């Protein structure tokens, strides 16, 4: 798999299922701490590209091209391929794969962190995704004002299962709600760990994500909706009342946001006693929970309609998250 963010993510990655040390290959040693597990089965590569349903006019963004096994297949169909790679060694390797060939003019290799760099416009996203950037990658794509037509992404198996989980499922959470609120997600195929070099410790899967476009795209702020979900799923087995009113940090953040909203909307606040504003915010949250019937419900039991109702009720009370 391609490189991830770098040293800052190495600590987290070292505990991931992809972090097992492996032997060197004949070119250079793969850095498994940052998710370098190269897809070596050409049949799987062909299947991924086929599922992307590429058009001759498409621009494709590939995250972490590695040694270029997927890259060369994408270039057979796409008009242009932008490949973002963190590791200079990998970037050089994928460039060599097309050097002196007609495909060379169609390939643009960018060296950098795919989560940090700005993405040029593209039609389809394809990635053999490093484990530790799976969530940031999905959220970055979903929050795009003009998202791609679709994405065909390889993930650790459990992460892929979280993407398609439904209310009540064990793996249902913030990722599940966001992914299926802003897009349609479906499982494409399971990929055994034996298909990678070096092999990770767990199996993977390929998921198709089709972002909602135009009038189908929800007319709300991604940051606002995600901010609400962060609070709801902070402890997904708690009741909503406990999630919203049982944590001092959450209440302090919401009070600060309410003060900002009040100032921007010329709403007078009685600051003679700070406790008055804090009590007012608690009252507004309790009112929103009661009006939506979610006070005793748990986040893992709620669907996107429940979260939308709660967002609307809280916003109507001047409670915001972004």
Q: Which two tokens stand for residue 6?
A: 């770098």
Taking each helix axis from N to C end, the angle separating 274-292 and 304-316, rounded to the nearest 10 degrees, works out to 140
Query: For the chain, percent helix, then strand, then coil, each to nearest 5?
Result: 45, 15, 40
For residue 125, the surrounding DSSP H or E stretch is strand 124-128
pLDDT at position 48 is: 96
Mean pLDDT (the chain) is: 88
Nearest partner of 32 among 65, 73, 63, 1, judged by Cα? 1
Farthest-apart Cα atoms in the chain, separation: 74
The predicted model scores a pTM of 0.84
The string of pLDDT tens digits covering residues 32-74 is 554 567 888 999 999 999 999 999 999 999 999 988 999 999 9
Alpha helix (H) residue ranges in 14-54: 42-51
> All domains of the chain, ordered by start, with CATH?
7-216 (3.40.50.150), 222-316 (1.10.8.480)
Distances 63 to 82, 85, 93, 115, 249 between C-alpha atoms, Å: 9, 7, 15, 10, 36
Strand order in the sheet with 59-63: 107-111, 80-85, 59-63, 124-128, 150-156, 204-211, 183-191
For residue 310, the surrounding DSSP H or E stretch is helix 304-316
pLDDT at position 200 is: 86
pLDDT at position 274 is: 64
pLDDT at position 11 is: 43
pLDDT, mean of each 10-residue run, the chain (322 residues): 43 39 46 65 94 97 94 97 94 94 96 95 95 94 95 96 95 96 97 91 96 93 96 92 94 93 88 76 96 96 96 96 80
């Amino acid at each position: 798999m391609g490189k991830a963010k770098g040293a800052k993510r190495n600590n987290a990655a070292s505990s991931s299922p992809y972090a097992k040390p492996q032997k060197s290959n004949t070119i250079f040693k793969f850095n498994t701490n940052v998710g370098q597990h190269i897809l070596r089965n050409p049949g799987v590569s062909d299947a991924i590209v086929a599922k992307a349903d590429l058009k001759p006019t498409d621009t494709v963004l590939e995250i972490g091209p590695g040694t270029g096994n997927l890259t060369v297949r994408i270039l057979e169909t796409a008009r242009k391929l932008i490949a973002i790679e963190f590791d200079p060694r990998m970037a050089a390797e994928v460039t060599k794969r097309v050097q002196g060939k007609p495909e060379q003019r169609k390939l643009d290799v960018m060296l950098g962190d795919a989560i940090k760099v700005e993405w040029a416009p593209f039609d389809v996203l394809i990635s053999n995704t490093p484990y530790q950037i799976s969530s940031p990658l999905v959220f970055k794509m979903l929050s795009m004002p003009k998202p791609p037509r679709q994405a065909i992404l390889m993930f650790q198996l459990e992460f892929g299962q979280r993407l398609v989980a439904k209310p009540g499922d064990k793996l249902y959470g913030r990722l599940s709600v966001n992914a299926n609120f802003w897009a349609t997600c479906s499982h494409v195929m399971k990929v055994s760990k034996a298909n990678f070099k070096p092999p990770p410790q767990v199996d993977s899967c390929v998921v198709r994500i089709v972002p909602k476009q135009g009038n189908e795209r929800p007319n709300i702020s991604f940051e606002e909706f995600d901010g609400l979900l962060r609070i709801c799923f902070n402890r997904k087995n708690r009741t909503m009342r406990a999630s919203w009113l049982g944590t001092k940090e959450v209440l302090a953040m919401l009070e600060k946001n309410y003060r900002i909203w009040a100032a921007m909307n010329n709403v007078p606040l009685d600051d003679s006693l700070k406790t008055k504003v804090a009590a007012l915010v608690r009252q507004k949250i309790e009112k929103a929970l009661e009006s939506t019937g979610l006070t005793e419900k748990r986040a893992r039991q709620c669907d996107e309609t429940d979260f939308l109702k709660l967002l609307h009720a809280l916003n109507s009370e001047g409670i915001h998250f972004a």
